[in-house]
Structure 1
Amino acid sequence: MLHMFDLTGKVAMVTGGNMGIGNALAIGLAKAGADLFIYTYDQTNVEEMKKEVEGLGRKIAFASGDLSKEENAMAAIDECIKAFGKIDILVNNAGTIKRSPLLEGSNADWQSVIDLNLSSIYYLSKCAAKEMVNQGEGKIINIASMLSFQGGKFVPSYTASKHGVAGLTKAFANELADKNIQINAIAPGYIETANTAPIRADEKRNNEILSRIPAGRWGQTSDLVGGAIFLASSASNYVNGHILAIDGGWLVR
């Protein structure tokens, strides 16, 4: 049955794949056999990642830009096609978060989060889906959040964007399932990344979070890789519009 999880010959595009969760998912997909097209905001970790992926015997190419800008998001899929001739898997990982009390937050911060976390996923997925329809198959994996289900605090723009990601996942699945394209999302729980560093540094908040996680620990980026490989592979061909929580049990507490 392991062949169902084999991604040999597939091309996976991962946005924000040079850092944090995106990097872990990209390397995991490469270990499962996929070649990688990584869209980054800057050059952080690019050379190190190139060395690691090529060491696995996989191919990797990079492009850089600000996906919060519509023109960049609309052109990104074409860059993948130019590099590899196709796109089999799109992982919409790139995102940002702005923390501030609701009454003090700026409209500019709101818009910047919505543009990157939500609008870019719409543009990227729409462009990728056109290619996948022509190919006769494809996988789109969005990165949702615990705040796709809950309200959170001090992050209204992030919460709105991640609720939107869940909605787009379902909407795209409804339209594209009969074209052999599966669109699903991973909703990470509380994962140790740079984005969660401020929360982990707050002893009171950190303890509140840990006390609610049945697993009793923060998640590691490696905890998300198995779910990504499943959703990227033929093993998930009858899974569509699903939001897969990988959260140590946070949501059921």
Structure 2
Amino acid sequence: MHSSDPVIRLRDIRVDIEGHRALDRVDLEVLGGRLTAVVGANGSGKSTLVSVLAGLREPTSGTAEMRHGTAIALVPQHTADSARLPLTVTDLVSMGRWRERGAFRPLRRSDRTIVAEAVAAVGLSAHASRPLGALSGGQRQRAFLGQALAQQADLLLLDEPTSGLDDTSRRAAASALRVATDRGAAVVVVTHDLGELGDVDDVVTLAAGRIVDATTTDDTRGRRGRNVSSVEG
């Protein structure tokens, strides 16, 4: 996958929820190999946008064109309830291989390598055999991110993955997201704090369900900038 290769295109997307327009005239193109941050106040439509990108919500009108064969991984916010899962870090991350391998089937050597690399990417190699309940909240959140990385999806969607994390976990999460983009995945992250994500390629700002600003940055490795579709509100 190349960075010029669109993974998904949204055209004139409108989403109405119980009489409320959650998204209005949204145009957006998400490319592989780039990290897109979605920002905006509470109620601006960020989570609704992610649900459309994930295919979990049908637009009221407009079109969402996904590249054929695109695999999607979604990392929602996690609560303390995840600590009750009777799984180790490796168990949880290994579940990321189920889509390709099948649930409960033995992992191949290549799968185990992918899992180990995902655990390392989120900085949990030293905790790989520990149960989730023995981890901090930030470490558990990173374990779920590792599970998403192990899927090796083409489109990785995350809803405030660094919210409430300590500095160590935030840095580890930001580094892990770059592992995904370096592999060629398109990564879209809802965040309240751009600084927590490290280098960001594209920033999409939502207000009242509309994209009011969409900008592109050049990261430290010299990526060329690009235009991001936007609708002035």
Q: TM-score of the superposition, structure 2-length normalised?
A: 0.33
Structure with greater strand share of residues: 2
Ranked by relative contact order (alpha carbons within 8 Å, sequence separation 6 or more), the top structure is 2
Structure with greater helix share of residues: 1
